[in-house]
């Protein structure tokens, strides 16, 4: 019988309950998969940088491609000034990518399918970028809400729209990733359930859908990590180079 497709998102604690001043900070399956993803990243990078070869091996090539890919992404969207944030964008992209990819394994847990995780990232980026903008430009940073070349009559309306769009950045950023991951995994689970419930005769159709969806979801897993990172770069660009 098909189980609840939302069951895969359930968080349960592993090991003892940890409580600090009344806040439950227990180690959970979500935490476990964060650690697993981080571990995989560190293993990849460790093997990728173990020896400095002039002609790189396979793993070294992967880490160098990753490096060049993110470096190019940052320089294309945010320019030279964003170079100090390269390690952060790199870690962010790689962490989200690995969480998404690890989540694609059956019976695993998808860390990024939880709104609280993506919201934490998004709020951190939002607050960080806002502070950065004010530090770099002072109160001139508020000009981001006043686009140039707009008739004065329209300015109040445009400004309000700009402010709303600016404030909704963390929500859109976090919900995009979270909803994509959750929807994909739910869909996979639902089709998986159909395979069982339709049995040997009718189950082939949802099974083939499942296979196709798995391919699609792997693409989405990469794409969402990329979108998250590139939007972070764009927000950084807004704060670093005040264009308006």
Structural tokens at position 145: 């809400």
Tell me the angle at which helices 86-103 and 29-48 cross, rounded to the nearest 10 degrees: 120
Contact code string over 28-67 relative to other proteins, x by CB under 8 A: x-xx--xx-xx--xx--xx-xx--xxx-x---x--xx--x
CB of 37 vs other proteins, minimal distance in Å = 8
170/173 Cα distance (integer angstroms): 5
Which residue, 35 or 157, has its beta carbon nearer to other proteins?
Answer: 35
Q: What is the DSSP letter of 69?
A: H
Of the candidate residues 186, 203, 207, 226, the single one contacting other proteins (CB under 8 A):
186
144/159 Cα distance (integer angstroms): 9
Task: Identify the three-state secondary structure at position 13.
Answer: strand
Of the candidate residues 15, 68, 105, 212, the single one contacting other proteins (CB under 8 A):
68
Q: What is the CA radius of gyration of the chain?
A: 22
Q: Which positions lie near other proteins, rule CB under 8 A?
A: 3-7, 9-11, 13, 18, 23-28, 30-31, 34-35, 37-38, 41-42, 45-46, 48-49, 52-54, 56, 60, 63-64, 67-68, 86-88, 90-91, 94-95, 111, 113-117, 120, 175-176, 178-179, 182-183, 186, 190
């Amino acid at each position: 019988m098909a189980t609840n497709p939302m069951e895969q998102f359930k968080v349960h604690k592993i090991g003892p309950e940890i409580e600090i001043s009344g806040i439950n900070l227990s180690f959970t399956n979500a935490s476990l998969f964060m650690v697993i993803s981080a571990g995989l990243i560190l293993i990849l990078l460790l093997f990728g940088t173990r020896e400095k070869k002039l002609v790189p091996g396979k793993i070294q090539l992967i880490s160098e491609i990753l490096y060049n890919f993110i470096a190019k992404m940052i320089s294309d969207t945010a320019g030279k000034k964003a170079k100090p944030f390269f390690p952060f964008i790199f870690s962010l992209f790689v962490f989200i990518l690995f969480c998404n990819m690890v989540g694609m394994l059956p019976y695993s847990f998808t860390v990024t399918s939880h709104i609280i995780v993506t919201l934490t990232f998004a709020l951190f980026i939002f607050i960080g970028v806002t502070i950065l903008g004010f530090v770099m430009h002072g109160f001139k940073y508020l000009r981001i809400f006043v686009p140039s070349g707009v008739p004065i009559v329209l300015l109040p309306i445009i400004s309000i729209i700009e402010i709303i769009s600016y404030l909704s950045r963390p929500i859109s950023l976090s919900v995009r990733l979270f909803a994509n991951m959750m929807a994909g995994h739910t869909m996979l689970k639902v089709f998986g359930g159909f395979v069982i419930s339709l049995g040997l005769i009718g189950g082939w159709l949802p099974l083939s859908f499942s296979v196709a969806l798995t391919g699609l979801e792997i693409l989405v897993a990469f794409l969402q990590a990329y979108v998250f990172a590139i939007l972070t770069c764009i927000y950084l660009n807004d704060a670093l180079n005040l264009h308006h």
